[in-house]
Amino acid sequence: MQLGVSVIICCYNSAARLPDTLKHLALQRVPAGILWEVIVIDNASTDNTFQVASQEWEKYTIPNAGFRLLSQPIPGKNHAHKMGIEAANYEYILTCDDDNRLCADYVSIAYESMSADNKIGVLGGCGIFDPQQPAWSDIEKHKQSYVNGPQTWASTAHWVYGAGCVCRKSLFINLYNKDWQQITSGRNGTKLICGEDVEICFIIYICGYKIKSNDRLTFHHFVPLKRQSLKYILNLQYWISYSYVLLNNYLMLMDGDKRSVQKKLNDWSIYNIKALVMFTVKLARQKLIKLQPLSVDEKLKLQSHLGSLISIFNNRKKIIKHHSQLTNMLKNQEMFN
């Protein structure tokens, strides 16, 4: 692969957010010796995302930076992301969400960091929480629910969030050639299915690469008003737990769990059912007898158990099939050599 940075922006109804995102890319301080490009993928938008992307980029004159605008009619972020990777000219794939405002040296730092260590498979950045004003009065209490702060867990938990992360195109191409099937789909409309970024980190780690973060890679994470509410936080918690179940097969591999996938899912189901029963009794007693309202933490726990249990019921066959595909693919230990 030719060394350089391909910035990929996957968009769904992003017309209102894209101008600032593209402006910060246009302001990048990239040395003349570093090749880079921006690829915007319109993922089945129903607004004028496509037109806005083209019009905004034309406002700037950026030396040495290519620009392409693609259209992916199949809904789901993974479809858009894969299209961007396959279209990319360069080895380092920088995922920039449509609500990310990258610092001026992001592209150059990403290039230098990835070039310095060819065993880094995925490199994460440091998001700075930036809520739209006037912000929700309780937003500070829930900052941890959004992309925010240094990713101190990267090296030990082996994942970073997708926003602002940098991966190697050659690893993706090897995975695609081995018919790797990604089980997480990414957000699709109102379904906040997530974990596609974590799944990418897990498979790359399992195949022998490091997952790292670099706090010099800073970006502002803009959070619109419509995502600043307890209702949104509770819904997000449900989908995070729902998506976590989909990562079961990677977790079993990394934890050395020798149970069959069927037994693991059965044990997981029983755990969540017991937790929900006990939790429901506790909440009913608290609400009806003590006349106390549910706390936010209790509501979040309830959403977490519900998301996990429903995901197991909905995706059991899918997870079992994926386990077979994944283990068969990994039998070839030379896949990345």
Express each pLDDT in 235-266 by its tens digit: 999 999 999 999 999 999 999 999 999 999 99
Q: Say how far apart CA 158 and CA 201 lie, in whole Å.
A: 7
pLDDT at 61 over 90: no
- Residue 312 confidence (pLDDT): 97
Domains and CATH numbers, the chain: 5-228 (3.90.550.10), 249-330 (no CATH)
Q: How confident is the model at residue 336 (pLDDT cuts 50, 70, 90)?
A: very low
Mean pLDDT over 41-66 rounds to 92
**CA nearest to 138, candidates 236, 230, 231:** 230
- Residue 150 confidence (pLDDT): 93
Mean of the per-residue pLDDT values of the chain: 92
Q: Within 13 Å, how many C-alpha atoms sit on residue 254's CB side?
A: 18
* pTM confidence score: 0.92
Share of the chain above pLDDT 70, in %: 96
Q: How confident is the model at residue 109 (pLDDT cuts 50, 70, 90)?
A: very high
Q: Say how far apart CA 193 and CA 240 lie, in whole Å.
A: 7
Q: Say how far apart CA 228 and CA 150 lie, in whole Å.
A: 21
CB environment 76-97: b (16+ within 10 A), e (fewer): bbbbbbbbbbeebbbbbbbbbb
Express each pLDDT in 145-161 by its tens digit: 877 789 999 999 999 99
Q: How confident is the model at residue 291 (pLDDT cuts 50, 70, 90)?
A: low
- Residue 337 confidence (pLDDT): 46
Instruction: Give the three-state DSSP class for 40.
Output: strand
Q: Say how far apart CA 320 and CA 154 lie, in whole Å.
A: 28
Share of the chain above pLDDT 90, in %: 77
Residues 6 or more apart in contact with residue 262 via CB below 8 angstroms: 320
Express each pLDDT in 155-203 by its tens digit: 999 999 999 999 999 999 999 999 999 999 877 666 778 889 999 999 9
Express each pLDDT in 23-35 by its tens digit: 999 999 999 999 9
pLDDT at 269 over 90: yes
